Chain A
């Protein structure tokens, strides 16, 4: 297979309200290659979790996919019936949520949760499934897994629980893992362990990852490429190193400068004035224009994602550079 593993085109998600539909995601397009880690970063309400939920078909009513398409391994998955989607979810697409306490069933032994998942997606007998479950617990770093497999979730610490969730997401050997804020509920010291575990395991098993987080530091350490979201749209997308060192979109620039660092004690943090607009009042044209320090007339019109040096930035500042590059090609 040479094409992308996951391909999202012009995704539009709407929420039906009494005052008419609210557009929560608007024209979101990105690809994830097999084995690639794509970071999705943005502030709360930017639509990053919603993008993940749309991909795995878990949008709750009144939210619905109102346009665009999602292809997984060449097959359209945005319009599959729930029964078909359930086979893909947990099987070829694994999911890790933020809070390990809510993603594990508190009344089931973790071994039973793991074997149930393995049995649902792999042609194995119960005993083999249990052996695999023990192997997975060992692989995610749970000491003496053959004993802990019969424990209940409350008998595990927060970090250990998130390890179990990772085992649960990977045990059916998915091609893609969607990790939504996998370390946000954990202490920094444990966060570092979980991030490196996730990175190493997915690499070893060749799984691609869509890593959704608000923490640019986690993205910088883990992802190959990153998509920066703002008000339900992608503001900028590109290779992580490039994007962190030289952000193009004024929003990304502001975001990077607003993060305090350990290296030096800054006199003042750069701040972006105002706040992200609510879904009900996203401005026409560029959604960032009212807060943008470099706004000009053209911004009244909605900017498409302009290709510039292997990156995409939805900003009119790069219109000419991007058009010139197009002519040269």
Chain B
């Protein structure tokens, strides 16, 4: 099974800028048709309407890092996650996993090999586990699916699978005796552990985590986040972490991308981005987080709400809410340059502050 991997790598694009990138997203877009049914369009002479949920994204995720993606609801975070794992086809652009374009390649063996190497953890552990399946079968499913066709010969018979399930249950802090139980016998936090065990069962390298702790209480969230970091260290995993919770991103991510209305507005190393946000939207998001330390730090009051993505404002989509907007912001869309998409950002911000 492992013998397949070098073959996959060789198929990769040799001209990759970043040799260490495991995921590369290039000009990725997804457009949804949100028109009324054609008969009502005909009657009221409405044109077709489309919604660009994700609009021309470019970024790369390095091996072993956690790339955090934050943004408000409707900013396209989850649409992006679904395209990255191949649950949704892009309208334009590519997602390359180790150089292989999952949506573009016809080579079934290569597709299968890439699929095995990535997994997803969903937000709601009550919806993501089949209530009629035993926990052991849930966790064994990816192992069975991705087992080489001659399973018995390579030692992956049922007994080996059961042993692997026991090992996985212990790895995520559950007990082998939990394997014959059903999901309803577990609490939300334990179910998320089961979902994590399933995600790592087939030895993936890359896991997309879509709001993995948003449905959990804080004390349970701490358990799950610690577990995810431990597993990353032990198994050398790469995470794409999607969340609206900035404190979770702060704890988990090595790099952060901030999305607004389907586009990236800023990317940066976590420490730098939290210390010196460059895009006004990033600054606004950070200012909006309630201050538990009650330090009384000065905060700019936030105005406005996320605009309707069907009818985005012209120019910079953030300008109606931006406290610093100038004339050009209303007419011209800022390019994503030097890791930020803002007319007012200068290259100086990007340099580390000189002490």
Contact = CB atoms under 8 A, between A and B. Distances in A.
A260 B247 contact: yes
A266 to B, nearest CB: 6
Interface string A154-165: 000111100000
A259 B190 CA distance: 19
Contacts of A260: 222, 225, 247-248, 250-251
Given A44-B217, A214-B217, A271-B219, A220 B225 contact: no
B113 interface: no
B139 to A, nearest CB: 20
A187 interface: yes
B288 A192 contact: yes
A220 B218 contact: no
Majority SS of interface residues in chain B? helix
B271 interface: yes
- Please classify how large the interface on chain A is, using the bins under 10, 10 to 19, 20 to 34, 35 or more: 35 or more
B250 A187 contact: no
A53 interface: no
B238 interface: no
B336 interface: no
Given A216-B292, A218-B290, A270-B222, A275 B306 contact: no
A262 B302 contact: no
Given A216-B218, A221-B291, A258-B221, A271 B72 contact: no
A251 to B, nearest CB: 9
- Please classify how large the interface on chain B is, using the bins under 10, 10 to 19, 20 to 34, 35 or more: 35 or more
Interface string A242-264: 00110000000011001111110
Contact of A262 (B187, B229, B247, B305): B247
B234 to A, nearest CB: 14
B221 to A, nearest CB: 7
Contact of A272 (B72, B219, B287): B219
B284 interface: yes
A325 interface: no
Contacts, number: 117
Interface string B284-296: 1111111111100
Given A269-B222, A269-B225, A188 B251 contact: no
A192 B222 contact: no
A258 B302 contact: no
A157 B309 CA distance: 13
Interface centre among B72, B219, B287, B301 (most CB of A within 10 A): B219
Contact of B218 (A187, A191, A214): A214
A259 B247 contact: yes
B292 A217 contact: yes
Nearest to A267: B229
29 contacts: A160-B305, A187-B72, A187-B305, A188-B72, A188-B288, A189-B72, A189-B302, A189-B304, A192-B290, A192-B302, A193-B301, A193-B303, A195-B290, A216-B292, A217-B290, A217-B292, A245-B294, A254-B219, A258-B221, A259-B247, A259-B292, A260-B247, A265-B270, A265-B271, A266-B251, A269-B222, A269-B251, A271-B219, A272-B223
Interface of A: 43-44, 157-160, 187-193, 195-196, 214-218, 220-221, 241, 244-245, 254-255, 258-263, 265-266, 268-273, 275-276
